[in-house]
Amino acid sequence: MRCSMFFALGILMTKRTYILFLLLVLLSAVTPHSVFAKKISETEEVNAVKTERYVRYVYDHMKFGKNIRKISYEAFRSGFLGYLNLLESGKLNNDAYLTICDFTLSSNQKRMWVFDVKAKKVLFHTLVAHGQGTGEEYAVQFSNTPESHQSSLGFYTTGETYEGGNGYSLKLNGVDGIFNSNAYERAIVIHAADYVSEEFARCNQRIGRSHGCPALPVDIAPKVIDQIKNGTCLFIYHSSKNYLTASQWINRRPQQLPQEAELMDLQSASKITKSNKPIKTPAKAEVEDELASVSLADRKNYKVDVQTITIKRPVVEDQNIQNSKIISSIIVINENERKGFSQDTVILK
């Protein structure tokens, strides 16, 4: 039917006009899709940038405490991205804690961190063993194969506790596909082991090794297990390109971040403390310049009220606060035409 209509029109039109007509039809079909695709691409780019900023924000605000080695940003970034994706996918029953083991480090160093994500502090920092087949002092080989006695990389969710051959233990569920899907079948669990100790390391130039389990020192294992049991996220990290480029949890960007991500600039500003040099707030005329992009017709429907607040310059507690954005004024925009007027808030930094 459509082809017949185009043919009939072609008879009535000149050749040049007909060609122009067909081009317009094609453009009307293609352009909306292209614009839509472009908008999706731009949205994804904005989300990616915001996600990276949020990961850095959490890392920079994490309290490590005295005598606690700061985890590398690379290990934390990978672990926190996976945590966010697991949370969004509904795989975590408890989102309060994130445990990361950095297997790029020597086994003689404390390379497991248990983070309280909400309070932004490290709860435990401890030695942790890798598997016999994974290496001596350093972890170099990884496997998901039963009886390999090797550690498996990737993300796990913690399960229930039980009393087994190694005492009080915590079951782990591998959720990172081919990298650790056999963890439950292989009985990869967290348990205590007397070979995970500084004394053992002094005598043997390395701590002892497990059958693939992330075994912990005897004195701290029960405390860690009770803290992270029942549905928290555990991540075993290594700089292996084969893993980092293939893990679905690291390479996917979450679509929805925690509410804290929306407020991170405000929270950074709340750390700014007293000083003798207040920051000047913009005049009302300058504020209205910010609204210049709104058409005159639309601007007649709005009344702009400027509420200014003074933020003092920071006493620098660390280098990160120096680069924080400073909030200098709040603009309240009231829509006047409606009886029950609406209100919006714009924050200028």
Residues 233, 275 within the same domain: no
Q: Interior CA angle at 65 toward 270 and 70, to 5°?
A: 95
Q: How far is CA 306 from CA 93, 278, 347, in A?
A: 44, 18, 10
Split the chain (349 residues) into runs of 10 and give each run's mean pLDDT. 49 56 59 55 80 96 94 98 97 98 98 97 98 97 97 98 97 98 98 97 96 98 98 98 96 91 71 46 54 58 50 45 46 47 47
Residues 126, 224 within the same domain: yes
Examine residue 327 and state whether it is found in any structural domain, yes or no: yes
Write down which residue in 229, 257, 285 finishes a domain: 257
pLDDT number for residue 47? 82
Q: Where are the alpha helices (DSSP H) in 62-72?
A: none
Examine residue 271 and state whether it is found in any structural domain, yes or no: yes
Examine residue 23 and state whether it is found in any structural domain, yes or no: no
pLDDT number for residue 35? 53
Residues 106, 231 within the same domain: yes
Residues 215, 304 within the same domain: no
pLDDT number for residue 105? 98
Write down which residue in 222, 257, 292 finishes a domain: 257
pLDDT number for residue 136? 97
Q: How far is CA 172 from CA 114, 139, 146, 163, in A?
A: 15, 20, 15, 14
For the chain, the domain total comes to 2
Residues 71, 124 within the same domain: yes
Residues 312, 239 within the same domain: no
Examine residue 24 and state whether it is found in any structural domain, yes or no: no
Residues 90, 170 within the same domain: yes
pLDDT number for residue 45? 80
A 10 A CB-CB count for 276 gives 6
Examine residue 11 and state whether it is found in any structural domain, yes or no: no
Residues 205, 279 within the same domain: no
Structural tokens at position 340: 């029950």
Examine residue 48 and state whether it is found in any structural domain, yes or no: no
Structural tokens at position 243: 């893993």
Residues 326, 240 within the same domain: no
pLDDT number for residue 263? 85
Contact residues for 160 (Cβ-Cβ < 8 A; gap 6+): 170, 171, 229, 230
Write down which residue in 257, 290, 312 finishes a domain: 257
Structural tokens at position 219: 């004195």
> Which residue bears the tokens 């009080």?
168
Residues 197, 286 within the same domain: no
Residues 343, 248 within the same domain: no
Examine residue 18 and state whether it is found in any structural domain, yes or no: no
pLDDT number for residue 6? 46
Examine residue 21 and state whether it is found in any structural domain, yes or no: no
- The CATH number for 83's domain is 2.40.440.10
Residues 184, 233 within the same domain: yes
Q: Which residues span the domain enclosing 166?
A: 63-257
pLDDT number for residue 342? 47
